[in-house]
A = this chain, B = another copy of it.
Amino acid sequence: MSQTLAIDGRPLGRRAQLTRRRLLDATYELLQTHGIRDVRVVEVARKVGTSPATFYQYFRDVDEAVLVLADEAAEEVEPVARLLDEPWNGKGGLESARDLVDRYFRYWDEHRALMRVRNLAADEGDQRFRDVRNRTLGQVTDRIAEAVAENQRAGRVPPEITPYSAAAAMVSMLERMASYHFDLEPRGVTRRELVETTARILHHTITGRKT
């Protein structure tokens, strides 16, 4: 896509684009198997069959490559977030909630390692990572906040609730459950139960309706 630049500012030719892509892919793969602290530039380079110096032509460090990957993953959230565009009040509301939770879990299952590092870096204060995270979660948060506000106007959600706070709380719950369900399932809860329960909490918080 468009104007990705090398570290020295030059635009990338065809060969360079390819190398960069392979470096990104290798980084992604290593992230699956190693903790972030053990992802070495040398190893990324080795995996691509190139030299470490090449890596530094395209990224200042491993984090910067991860940032690009996180940015790419941000786009895949949109179709999930869209599930919030239909109002959840009616009959199919609960089913939409289930669907959202399930797909959110799957999104995380897909990008688990990436999300982990993105969140760590964001929590540690790195502004670039905060931005990607906000861009990603914002797609969901904003829609939930809007829905809550609407139901609040209709008198179904109590006035003491702040729509944006509620949205943040729901996204927090989703995120952590998505990241966590792996640790939970071996402990005697099924995924189905997790999805069903989470969906119901989500549905009620947004719509204010009893289930």
Contact = CB atoms under 8 A, between A and B. Distances in A.
A116 B122 contact: no
B116 A120 contact: yes
Nearest to A181: B168
Contact of A169 (B123, B134, B198): B198
A200 B37 CA distance: 39
A197 B123 contact: no
A189 B211 contact: no
A72 interface: no
A8 to B, nearest CB: 26
B36 A198 contact: no
* Interface of chain A, main secondary structure: helix
A166 interface: yes
A183 B116 contact: no
A193 interface: yes
Interface string A87-131: 000000000000000000000000000001000111110000010
Q: Which of A35, A121, A123, A175 has the most CB of B within 10 A?
A: A123
25 contacts: A35-B120, A36-B37, A36-B120, A116-B124, A158-B211, A160-B197, A161-B197, A161-B200, A162-B193, A162-B194, A162-B196, A164-B188, A165-B193, A165-B197, A165-B198, A168-B180, A168-B184, A169-B173, A169-B177, A169-B194, A169-B197, A169-B198, A172-B175, A172-B176, A201-B205
